[in-house]
Amino acid sequence: MLGGMTTRDPRTAGLARLAGLIADETRAACLLALLDGRAWTAGELARHAGVAASTVSEHLGKLVAGGLLAKERQGRHRYVRLAGALVAQLVEDLAAQVAPDAAVSPRSLRVASAGSAMARGRTCYDHLAGRLGIAVTDALTARGLLRQDTGFALTDAGLAWFAAAGIGLDRRGRRPLARACLDWTERRPHLAGVAGEALCRHALDTGWCVRVGSQRAVKVTAAGERALADLLGIEAAALR
C-alpha cells in the first residue's frame, strides 16, 4: 500500500469478466455442449439448453465477444464453436470440480442411459475421456509409452508407437504434446494435448469409435476393440 492506495493486479478485471461470462446456466450449458469439439448452430444449442432461440443468440453473442466462442459460416448456415483448446481445458477443468453426485438418482431412464454412455466413453473437446480415455491412458503408461510421474510426457518409445500406428503428431504449434486432463467421471487424469487429439481423431476416422446420440458419447466398435487389443493390450471388457 502506498499513500492509502492499493496496487491491483492488472488481471483482476479480466478474470472478473471471464467469471461473469460463465456464471449463467444457459451459457454454461452451451459451453459444455460445445466440448464435443464440433460446431453447433444457435438453434441446436437453444434446443439443448431448453431456451428460446432469441435467448440463446443473446448469450452466444456475449460468449463470442468475450473470446470464449468463435463464429463460423458455411453457406447459409452460421455456427459457433469453442475458441480453442485453452477454452476447452478451462471449461472441462471447472466442470470436473462440480461433477454430479453419484448418489443422486437420474430423473429418467433416458437421462440415466445418456449418463452411462458418457461415463463409458466420450470426447472431451478433441480427446478421449471416460472409462475409454482412462483405459487408453493407463495402457500407454503401463507399456512405457507415456510417463505420468513428472507430468504427462510421451517417451521415445511412445513417439515411436504413434509413428508405427500411423497416428501423426503435429508438433509445430505451442500446444503441449501431452497434457493431463482431469476426467470428471473417473476423477483421474486422461491424455490430452496434441497426442490426445491425434489419437481421438484417428479413432474416429478409422472407425475404432463412433459417436452415439447427440451428445459427446462415443462407443468402441468391434474393429476398435481388436485394434486397441493388438496395439495396447486393452481387453474388450474394459471398453464396454
| Residues 71, 97 within the same domain | no
| Residues 72, 119 within the same domain | no
| Residues 75, 143 within the same domain | no
In a domain, 3, yes or no: no
In a domain, 100, yes or no: yes
**Alpha carbon distance 234, 191 (integer Å):** 16
In contact, 185 and 124? CB cutoff 8 Å:
no
Rounded to 5 degrees, φ, ψ at 202 are: -65, -40
In a domain, 5, yes or no: no
pLDDT one digit per residue (tens) for the chain, 240 residues: 455 556 778 889 889 999 999 999 999 999 998 988 888 999 999 998 999 999 999 999 999 999 999 998 888 889 999 998 889 888 888 887 776 554 444 454 444 455 688 889 999 889 999 999 999 999 999 999 999 998 899 999 999 999 999 999 988 888 899 999 888 888 889 999 999 999 999 999 999 999 987 568 999 999 999 999 999 999 998 888
Question: Positive or negative CA dihedral for 93, 98, 102, 105?
Answer: negative
Indicate the helix (H) or strand (E) that contains 129: strand 127-129
Domain boundary among 45, 68, 83: 83
Domain boundary among 83, 101, 132: 83
Q: What is the pLDDT of residue 102?
A: 47
Grid cell in block for residue 40: 453447433
Q: What is the pLDDT of residue 99?
A: 60
In contact, 196 and 128? CB cutoff 8 Å:
yes
Q: What is the pLDDT of residue 112?
A: 44
Domain boundary among 37, 68, 83: 83
In a domain, 4, yes or no: no
In contact, 193 and 200? CB cutoff 8 Å:
no
| Residues 130, 163 within the same domain | yes
In a domain, 7, yes or no: no
Domain extent, residue 180, equals 89-239
In a domain, 19, yes or no: yes
Determine the straight-line distance between the first and last CA of the chain, rounded to whole angstroms.
Answer: 59
Q: Is 1 exposed, middle or buried (0-12, 13-18, 19+ CB in 10 A)?
A: exposed
- Residues 6 or more apart in contact with residue 177 via CB below 8 angstroms: 153, 154, 169, 171, 193, 194, 195
In contact, 92 and 123? CB cutoff 8 Å:
no
Number of neighbouring beta carbons within 10 Å of residue 23 = 9
| Residues 181, 156 within the same domain | yes
Report pTM.
Answer: 0.73
Closest by CA to 196, choosing from 181, 218, 208, is 181
Report the number of distinct structural domains present in the chain. 2
| Residues 22, 44 within the same domain | yes
Grid cell in block for residue 176: 503441449
CATH of the domain at 43: 1.10.10.10
